[in-house]
Amino acid sequence: MELLRQRILAEGKCFEGGILKVDSFINHQMDPQLMMAVAGEFMKRFTGAGVNKILTIEASGIAPAIMVGYLMKLPVVFAKKKKPSTMENMLATTVYSFTKRRDYDVCVCRDYLGKDDRVLFIDDFLANGNAARGIMDLVRQAGAELAGMGFIIEKEFQHGREALTEAGVRVESLAIIESLDNCTIKIRQ
Amino acid sequence: MELLRQRILAEGKCFEGGILKVDSFINHQMDPQLMMAVAGEFMKRFTGAGVNKILTIEASGIAPAIMVGYLMKLPVVFAKKKKPSTMENMLATTVYSFTKRRDYDVCVCRDYLGKDDRVLFIDDFLANGNAARGIMDLVRQAGAELAGMGFIIEKEFQHGREALTEAGVRVESLAIIESLDNCTIKIRQ
């Protein structure tokens, strides 16, 4: 997606350890027009995939996911990163975050994810794929089907896609970062 | 907002202690078409208020805020509930959550909130107003102006509005819950 590619090159910032910050338009400040364009691209790629629900994880996945849900006229569920005190009837899984160097729980209420759901998972980043594998586990526990996963930015050099495609999951990323070596952003053409 | 009012009466669930759960369309599963309608109503109410930035708090504020930003063609910043390891140059404040019975930090990067900003804060709930007062503090620290605050649902019986209007803040709520006594939802006409 050329619009996104140009924006990452113009505003993305590299840090040691393969970190790419896109805080000015995706992760902290967000550009809603870009989010809608991103959602339009996801819709185009997943049209015909039989999706009936959009799933994401709080917090940075919510903006693109709600836009996809709006365009596709589908409900959007966001998985929570800790168990809410008022939530019962929950599915939960544990995800290890390399960035934060700790485990966290991801949970979703069974009322909103079940065997009649065919899910499109939307998130901001695909890195090592730990969060995405957590989502696969939640979808499996719910007895739902996973129609695919869409990421705004994939850090290809962190190999998250491999385990997903090996498990038969369709993965679509709108910008694929080949490397951040020497703090230079190299995006696939 | 009648559409919202009907939805709360149809799907909202009361719990002891003045808790209203709207998990099926706002707080966990979200209805994107309703979110866009909510955003349209906020835009109508705040047209002419000179807003140049939308501010919210993760996670449930993000969906309505990104829709407002989309309609008003303005950037959206979401304040974070804990200090990210990679964020520098931060403004922070502490908020006490009655629901969770603990303090949490709310922070925003100075790069995205400053003296040239005239901010519209959007959130899902106004209850006792602690989070909103935390936002007022962040806006003040940033040297920005607060043009107003818009909430999808206000729990009037928890009196959050009082301190805000006393401080001169314009508050707009799209559904005002008068009481949840005897687990009956009473919404202002």
Is residue A152 predicted with pLDDT exceeding 90? Answer: yes
Tell if the CB–CB gap between A59 and B59 is shorter than 8 Å: yes
A97-121 per-position pLDDT tens digit: 877 889 999 999 999 999 999 999 9
Summarize chain B as % helix, strand, coil (round to 5).
35, 35, 30
Facing B28 at nearest CB: one of A28, A73, A109: A109
Q: What percentage of chain A has pLDDT greater than the value 70?
A: 98
Predicted pLDDT at B86 = 65
Facing A21 at nearest CB: one of B62, B86, B112: B86
Count other Cβ atoms within 10 Å, centred on residue A119.
23
Contact status, residue B1 vs residue B174, Cβ threshold 8 Å: yes
Predicted pLDDT at B100 = 80
Predicted pLDDT at B83 = 75
> Both tokens of residue A12?
């993305």
Predicted pLDDT at A88 = 78
Q: A78: distance to nearest CA of chain B, Å?
A: 6
How far apart CA B172 and CA B189 sit, in angstroms, is 15
How far apart CA A178 and CA B112 sit, in angstroms, is 28
Tell if the CB–CB gap between B109 and A28 is shorter than 8 Å: yes
Predicted pLDDT at A16 = 87
Q: Identify the top-confidence range among A83-92, A93-102, A152-161, B101-110.
A: A152-161
Q: A147: distance to nearest CA of chain B, Å?
A: 18
| Sequence spans of domains, chain B | 2-187
The CA distances from residue A91 to A10, A26, A141, in Å, are: 40, 28, 7
**Which amino acid is residue A29, in one-letter code?**
Q
> Both tokens of residue B42?
């906020």
Tell if the CB–CB gap between B75 and A28 is shorter than 8 Å: no
Lowest mean pLDDT, pick from A9-23, A44-58, A172-186, B93-107: B93-107
Q: List chain A residues with CB under 8 Å of B21.
A: 86
* Packing angle of the helix pair A62-72, B32-46 (nearest 10 deg): 110
Contact status, residue A87 vs residue B50, Cβ threshold 8 Å: no
Fold topology of B2-187: Rossmann fold (3.40.50)
A35-48: average pLDDT = 98
Q: What percentage of chain A has pLDDT greater than the value 90?
A: 89
Predicted pLDDT at B88 = 78
Facing B66 at nearest CB: one of A24, A66, A100: A66
Predicted pLDDT at A100 = 80
Tell if the CB–CB gap between A33 and B73 is shorter than 8 Å: yes
Predicted pLDDT at B97 = 87
Predicted pLDDT at A10 = 98
Chunked into runs of 10 residues, chain B (189 residues) has average pLDDT values of 97 93 97 98 98 97 98 98 78 89 94 98 97 98 98 98 98 98 94
Facing B100 at nearest CB: one of A36, A85, A109: A85
The residue ranges of DSSP E strands in A88-144, in sequence order, are 90-97, 102-109, 118-126
ipTM, two decimals: 0.96
Predicted pLDDT at A81 = 92
